[in-house]
């Protein structure tokens, strides 16, 4: 139904474009000077068709369900139902009216479902009437304006400008959405679990906080010593540290080699090949780490008489390091190539070898940019999810032994939120609190890194 209406309105838009342009031609034929190209007359009319339709459609989408719900549930008021029960009744009504209801049908619900259907159909038909009459009115108004040959290009361009501006707000809206989705759950979480326990507690057993019966009162003492995030934070930074131990030497050296030593031919092939590593989905790395690297390290360790967990931090961190190599190599390659040639020439003129030039002149000059690229790599490592979910442990151990298994922020979020979630449960909220800390940490890293890189670029441009 909505689709038909929508298509009809789109058709109306095209027709009004056509009539607007035609009007422009008739004005032109009376030897009057047009104020804009004829198609602007058409656009003008089409925009006047689209705006009321858009406004009414969105108003309807926002208010119709609430109003219908209010009307349905008004039948049940004064009968002493709780809010939850009323919601349940409403869900049942909707399910029944869609014919998807499985359960005992009471006459009450059946009556409600009938009322629901009739309300919906009233709403639908009134929507059609209102939308169409609004469109006709506004298009008639606009048509009158273009008949008197008033300006059309400026309003059309202003409208387009407004659309472009709205689109550019999407980035801000996304950020707001992220903060919004995290903050309420996080605040609720800290109402039950003191911030101090979360930041300094050393025991993390979210499984202990099983889904609670919602009728029971919340007992904070139940959760003491359950949500201490120190092991999680420690594990996260530990695995990121291992990853950087792999990624920094290899990535930096390949970046230097590509920028300073490699012939054009080697560069042409080696650079995209290394960048393939960045294009491989992380779930593939996770599979590789869990199925190949983990067991391999375990066997290697056993043959040397060491006890290695099959889900060791080393396996997850090492594979993560491989994933980060191209980020560091590409960025440091860019940064090194943008160091001005005059610095190199000066150093060579003093008799320095190539490697001495790199180590003593280019590297210090490029250092801010390289630090920026490493920070971006760290932020990637901290936020990486699938590798740790699949290859590292899910139990949070507080350990600094790379051969044991640890867990990370991201892995815990997945563990908690996989399957069904009950909002309002401390366990679910804990995942959002973890997400909040992850967001804040990576945000700081990113801001610092981006600023450093930007400052560096400005210096040499």
Partner 1 sequence: MNKNKEQLLNKRYNAEQRFRLYGLSAIFMALLFLTIFIFKIFSTGYSAFQKTWLIVPVTFDAELMMLDQNPSKEDLQDADYYDIALKSMADLDPNANEDQENELKRMVSYFFEKEIKNELLNDPNLIGKTKEVYLTASDDLDQVFKGNYPRDLPEDQRRVSDYQLKIFDQLVANGKVESKFNISFFTNADSREAELAGIASSFMGSIFSILVCLMIAFPVAVLAAIYLEEFAPKNRFTDFIEVNINNLAAVPSIVFGLLGLGVLLAIFQLPRSTPLVGGITLSLMTLPTIIIAARASLKAVPPSIREAALAMGASRMQTTMHHTVPLSMPGTLSGTIIGLAQALGETAPLILIGMVAFVNTIPGSPMDPAASLPVQIYIWAESAERGFVEKVSACIMVLLGFLIIMNLFAQIIRHKFEKKWS
CA–CA separation, 327 and 318 (whole Å): 15
305 binds partner 1 (CB under 8 A): no
User: 204 by DSSP, 3-state: which?
Assistant: strand
Nearest distance from C-beta of residue 31 to partner 1, angstroms = 22
Candidates 19, 101, 190, 287; binder of partner 1 (CB under 8 A) is 287
Candidates 197, 311, 333, 384; binder of partner 1 (CB under 8 A) is 384
Half-sphere exposure of 386 (CA within 13 A, CB side): 11
383 binds partner 1 (CB under 8 A): yes
Using the contact rule CB under 8 A, the part of the chain among 125-133, 134-142, 187-195, 320-328 near partner 1 is 320-328
CA–CA separation, 424 and 215 (whole Å): 12
Candidates 385, 397, 399, 401; binder of partner 1 (CB under 8 A) is 385
Positions in 393-412 near partner 1 (CB under 8 A):
410
305, 298, 286, 207: which is closest to 239 by C-alpha?
286
By CB under 8 A, how many residues form the interface with partner 1?
90
Candidates 59, 163, 207, 211; binder of partner 1 (CB under 8 A) is 163
Go through 41-78 and write b for each residue having 16 or more CB atoms within 10 A of its CB, e for each that does not.
Answer: bbbbbbbbbbebbeebbeebeeebeeebbeebbeeeee
205, 243, 255, 247: which is closest to 426 by C-alpha?
205
Positions in 187-216 near partner 1 (CB under 8 A):
none
Nearest distance from C-beta of residue 107 to partner 1, angstroms = 28
Candidates 6, 25, 54, 261; binder of partner 1 (CB under 8 A) is 261
Candidates 115, 153, 203, 212; binder of partner 1 (CB under 8 A) is 153
182 binds partner 1 (CB under 8 A): yes
59 binds partner 1 (CB under 8 A): no
CA of 116: how far to CAs of 66, 68, 90, 110, 128, in Å? 12, 7, 9, 10, 18
Using the contact rule CB under 8 A, the part of the chain among 131-139, 157-165, 307-315, 398-406 near partner 1 is 157-165
Residue among 2 and 353 whose Cβ is closer to partner 1:
353
99 binds partner 1 (CB under 8 A): no
Residue among 4 and 171 whose Cβ is closer to partner 1:
171
239 binds partner 1 (CB under 8 A): no
295 binds partner 1 (CB under 8 A): no
CA of 97: how far to CAs of 91, 102, 147, in Å? 10, 12, 49
Nearest distance from C-beta of residue 296 to partner 1, angstroms = 10
Positions in 105-144 near partner 1 (CB under 8 A):
none
Residue among 150 and 181 whose Cβ is closer to partner 1:
181
Nearest distance from C-beta of residue 167 to partner 1, angstroms = 3
Using the contact rule CB under 8 A, the part of the chain among 25-33, 45-53, 69-77, 247-255 near partner 1 is 247-255
68 binds partner 1 (CB under 8 A): no
CA–CA separation, 211 and 200 (whole Å): 24
Positions in 414-433 near partner 1 (CB under 8 A):
414, 417-419, 421, 423, 431-432
Q: Which residues contact 129 (CB under 8 A, 6 or more apart)?
A: none
User: 62 by DSSP, 3-state: which?
Assistant: helix
CA–CA separation, 136 and 127 (whole Å): 14
Provide the sign of the torsion angle of the four alpha carbons 198, 201, 202, 206, taken in this order: negative
Nearest distance from C-beta of residue 410 to partner 1, angstroms = 5
CA–CA separation, 381 and 284 (whole Å): 16
Positions in 322-381 near partner 1 (CB under 8 A):
322, 325-326, 329, 353-356, 358-359, 376, 379-380
DSSP string computed for 398-454:
----TTS----HHHHHHHHHSS---TT-HHHHHHHHHHHHHHHHHHHHHHHHHHHHH
Asked whether the beta carbons of 41 and 23 are under 8 A apart, the reply is yes
Positions in 432-451 near partner 1 (CB under 8 A):
432, 435, 438-439, 442-443, 446-447, 449-450
317, 328, 318, 331: which is closest to 249 by C-alpha?
328
């Amino acid at each position: 139904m909505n689709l038909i209406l929508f298509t009809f309105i789109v058709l109306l838009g095209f027709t009004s474009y056509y009539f607007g342009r035609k009007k422009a031609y008739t004005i032109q034929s009376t030897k009057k000077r047009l104020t804009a190209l004829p198609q602007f007359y058409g656009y003008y009319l089409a925009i006047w068709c689209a705006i009321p339709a858009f406004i009414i459609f969105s108003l309807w989408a926002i208010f119709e369900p609430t109003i219908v719900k209010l009307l349905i549930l008004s039948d049940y008021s004064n009968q002493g139902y709780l809010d939850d029960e009323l919601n349940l009744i409403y869900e049942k009504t909707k399910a029944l009216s869609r014919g998807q209801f499985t359960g005992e049908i009471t006459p009450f619900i059946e009556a409600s479902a009938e009322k629901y259907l009739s309300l919906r159909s009233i709403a639908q038909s009134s929507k059609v009437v209102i939308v169409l009459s609004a469109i006709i009115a506004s298009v008639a108004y606009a048509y009158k304006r273009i008949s008197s040959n008033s300006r059309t290009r400026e309003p059309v361009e202003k409208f387009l400008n407004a659309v472009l501006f709205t689109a550019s707000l999407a980035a801000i809206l996304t950020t707001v959405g992220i903060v919004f989705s995290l903050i309420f759950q996080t605040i609720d979480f800290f109402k039950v679990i003191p911030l101090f326990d979360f930041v300094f507690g050393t025991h993390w057993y979210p499984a202990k906080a099983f889904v609670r019966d919602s009728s029971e009162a919340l007992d904070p003492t139940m959760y003491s010593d359950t949500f201490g995030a120190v092991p999680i934070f420690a594990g996260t930074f530990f695995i990121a540290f291992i990853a950087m131990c792999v990624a920094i030497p290899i990535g930096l050296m390949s970046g230097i080699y590509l920028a300073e030593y490699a012939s054009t031919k080697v560069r042409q092939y080696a650079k995209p090949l290394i960048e393939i590593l960045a294009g491989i989905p992380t779930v593939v790395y996770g599979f590789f780490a869990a199925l190949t690297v983990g067991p391999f390290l375990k066997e290697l360790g056993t043959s040397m008489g060491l006890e290695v967990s099959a889900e060791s931090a080393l396996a997850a961190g090492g594979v993560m390091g491989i994933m980060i190599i191209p980020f560091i190599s590409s960025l440091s390659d860019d940064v090194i190539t943008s160091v001005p040639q005059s610095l190199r020439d000066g150093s060579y003129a003093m008799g320095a070898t190539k490697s001495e030039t790199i180590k003593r002149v280019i590297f210090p000059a490029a250092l801010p940019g390289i630090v920026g690229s490493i920070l971006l790599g760290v932020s990637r490592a901290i936020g990486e999810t699938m590798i740790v979910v699949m290859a590292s442990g899910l139990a949070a151990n507080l350990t600094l032994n790379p051969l044991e298994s640890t867990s990370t922020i991201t892995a815990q979020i997945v563990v908690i939120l996989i399957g069904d979630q009950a909002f309002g449960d401390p366990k679910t909220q804990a995942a959002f609190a973890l997400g909040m800390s992850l967001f804040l940490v990576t945000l700081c890293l990113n801001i610092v890194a981006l600023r450093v890189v930007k400052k560096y670029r400005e210096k040499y441009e």
